[in-house]
Amino acid sequence: MTNLLPNWTQFTLKEKIGQMIVVRASGYLFDHQIRYPVWEASNPKLSHWLETLNLGGVILLGGSVAELLLRTQQLQQWSKTPLFIAADIEEGVGQRFSGATYFPPPMALGEIAKYDLALAIKYAYQMGEVTAKEALEIGINWILSPIVDINNNSNNPVINIRSFGDSPKVVSELTKAFIKGAKNHSALTTAKHFPGHGDTSNDSHLDLPVINHNNERLERIELVPFQAAINANVDSVMTAHLLINAWDKDNPATLSKTILTGKLREKLGFKGLIVTDALIMGGVAKFADSQEIAIKAVEAGADILLMPDDPEIAINAVYNAVETGRLTTERIDESLQRIWQAKQKLFNYQKDNSSIYQLSQKEDRDTVKNIIRDALKYSKDLSLKVNTETSKRNLIVVDDILNADFLDRQMPAFTIPNLLGYKLQLVDKNTLGNVLEDNQETLLQIFVRGNPFRGSAGFNETSKNYYHKIFKKSTVKSLIIYGSPYILDWFITEMNLDIPWVFSYGQMSESQGIACQKLFNLSASKLTKMSRNLGDVFI
């Protein structure tokens, strides 16, 4: 069924500005399920906004894919104008919405590219294709990926393994492959975070990072993958809340006309949608009040204001700026033309007969496992001898137990060691110091990766001191690290590792199964004989 767009030129000025706003909403259907009430409006408020403000779109988080299919249909029905429905699905739809394909972090592909760039490009293409296909099947039409930041700072707390790596060439090639794969379907793609968030040591969700590189360095390193994405016809570019002193000493990039219009539009030749990063983030929210932020973002060249503190306040602020002459109607119409060009790609087409039952197909899960295996790192000596007669401990350390949704009692990190006689002890960075100091043979499994709002790329000093202490006792006989390769580097440097170890970029069940299988030198047939309840996560 064809879903034709209305004529945007018939909108009132406020309705036009409404199309420039994308708000955050829960992916869950019911209000009592909302997990982030500060950011996610209740259903009555959200439906009121969509019905009266002519908002451009919604960004979703939370829920299963079956629930998302209903949720996205509900949201489209509430709105008189077809919506952008976006999601931060940098690691596949399954990263945010359970049931779909969940890929390892992009840096896993960068690891593979170190020895086989062609294979990494193949995987990036498949990742883009599967992500776009599955997104559309549940009603998501705007993929807020790929990340094209070059992570050349090991202390980066927010980009980290979300990046394809630290090489401009590799990041550019994998970026192009992801976009090319996604273009087999009609979902929009996004290159982020312009002009490059990779060389920062603080998190723009919390504060405003400052970059002091000169223009030559920025053009030689940071801008390279953005130009590659633009050349690959990426649909949108997301701004970064960064202060780039070489270009604009006064305004974050998100609010800088010099950067968004001068660099991105004019120098790099980008003609698609410019979308801000979330305007509730500390990196920009602390810069000015919400009305001024909205106006300055539009002045700078942004077409979409993502997650303003209050959409009505943002719309009124931009409207008043037009009424007083600070902004022009022509400037608003420029954004509407770009918004409509993107929406025409999404909505003026014959819907296919895709089905939610096509999600997470076997070939897609096989691709995930192949990426995990091909990116796996491990010590040369994996001849771990397990004495099933002695008392052994499976010490699992996570960043925050309350947010460790990659773990439950049936996950391989628990079940496989348990079959070999290891007793579970689960702690996080807050309780690590309370671990009993005994002489049990210990398998140490650490789940640490960079994530937004953490403010740290890995260990704190307390954790480091504990690991020095426990390794000094020589009770740790084997080690698995899931997530950040920079944590592995620290262990190799600081601990002089002479024990069997395995590193996996992913933290999901497939990564756990493959890592445990490798460490213990267990074949799939042997594991199957040991337990029929482990599923196919490692086979």
Active site residues: 205, 277
Instruction: Measure Cα distances from 356 to 326, 346, 353, 433 in Å.
Output: 47, 19, 10, 45
Q: Are strands 210-211 and 273-275 parallel, antiparallel or unpaired?
A: unpaired
Alpha-carbon distance 84 to 186, whole Å? 12
Residue type, 93: V
Which neighbouring-strand residues pair with 428?
398
3-state SS assignment for residue 397:
strand
Q: By CB neighbour count within 10 A (0-12 exposed, 13-18 middle, 19+ buried), where does 175 fall?
A: buried
Q: At what angle do helices 461-472 and 485-495 cross, to 10 degrees?
A: 50
Place of tokens 């979330």: 278
Are the beta carbons of 393 and 440 closer than 8 angstroms? yes
Alpha-carbon distance 185 to 537, whole Å? 28
Alpha carbon distance, N-terminus to C-terminus of the chain: 41
Alpha-carbon distance 457 to 10, whole Å? 49
Instruction: Measure Cα distances from 501 to 323, 392, 482, 485 in Å.
Output: 64, 17, 11, 13
Residue 44 CB coordination number (10 Å): 9
Q: What DSSP state is assigned to residue 12? A: -
Alpha-carbon distance 128 to 437, whole Å? 47
- For 17, the token pair is 């500005």
Would you say how long the chain is, in residues?
A: 539
Instruction: Measure Cα distances from 492 to 5, 110, 506 in Å.
Output: 57, 20, 19
CA 343 to chain centre: 23
Place of tokens 């579970």: 424
* φ, ψ (nearest 5 deg) of residue 25: -145, 155
* φ, ψ (nearest 5 deg) of residue 336: -65, -35
* φ, ψ (nearest 5 deg) of residue 64: -90, 165
Are the beta carbons of 457 and 156 closer than 8 angstroms? yes
